[in-house]
Amino acid sequence: MEQMKRLRADGQRNRERIVAIAAELVAREGAQVSLEEIARKAGVGSATLHRHFPSRQALLEVVFRDGVAQLCERAATQPGKAPAAELADWIEEVTVYTATHRGLAAALLAGPDGLSAEDICCTDMLLNVLKVLVARASSVGALQAGATAEDLMMLANAIAVANENDPNTARRVLRLALTGIRR
């Protein structure tokens, strides 16, 4: 938070403009869009972009954070569901969301680097919720022994990467993985 407090008004405007342009370009071109193009369209130099965001991952975390936060909030609004259904439904929602937001799944698989304190890591946000859901499902014997939140996150992200921009296939493949292929 200290960095945000220390930013001058022009620095804050630059940061906001960088994030807005990055969100627009990532939505259109994917997470591998050129950082130089983002800086140019935001009207700042490459050094300014890197001062605010030391890595591509740090910028992507901010671009995707609001949507991921909403996903995490929705996990808490499933009252009355059985723990296994709650877990499966939320994993499906995460998989579909990441499959339809170009580059998010790959960014989550890459893991965080270069993040400042105010840039809460999307991966951590999702894993924290998933750990709670996994614990609930495990406590009632609804999850295979040894399955971890990290395993399920990797599964969801791998399916999303393989089916980027194809949420229906991502959903179908995830359901197949969650139920198994045996009769």
C-alpha angle with apex 115: 109 to 118, nearest 5 degrees?
A: 120
1-52 and 63-183: same fold? no
Residue 44 has pLDDT above 80, yes or no: yes
Name the helix (H) or strand (E) containing 153: helix 149-162
Instruction: Please name the fold of domain 1-52.
Output: Arc Repressor Mutant, subunit A (1.10.10)
Residue 14 has pLDDT above 90, yes or no: yes
- Alpha carbon distance, N-terminus to C-terminus of the chain: 53
In the chain, where are the structural domains located? 1-52, 63-183
Tell me what pLDDT residue 93 has: 94
92: its two tokens:
């499906």
Q: What is the pLDDT of residues 93-150, one digit of tens each?
A: 999 988 888 777 776 666 555 444 344 578 889 999 999 999 999 999 999 999 999 9
Tell me what pLDDT residue 129 has: 95
Tell me what pLDDT residue 53 has: 94
Tell me what pLDDT residue 98 has: 87
Backbone φ and ψ of 162, nearest 5°? -70, -20
Tell me what pLDDT residue 150 has: 94
Which of 3-17, 19-33, 141-155 bottoms out in mean pLDDT, i.e. has the lowest? 3-17
Tell me what pLDDT residue 109 has: 66
Residue 152 has pLDDT above 90, yes or no: yes
How is residue 146 annotated by DSSP?
Answer: T
CATH code for residues 63-183: 1.10.357.10
At 48, the pLDDT band (50, 70, 90 cuts) reads: very high
Q: What is the pLDDT of residues 58-78, one digit of tens each?
A: 898 888 888 888 899 988 877
Q: Is the separation of the CB atoms in 135 and 148 below 8 Å?
A: no
Residue 91 has pLDDT above 50, yes or no: yes
Residue 43 has pLDDT above 80, yes or no: yes
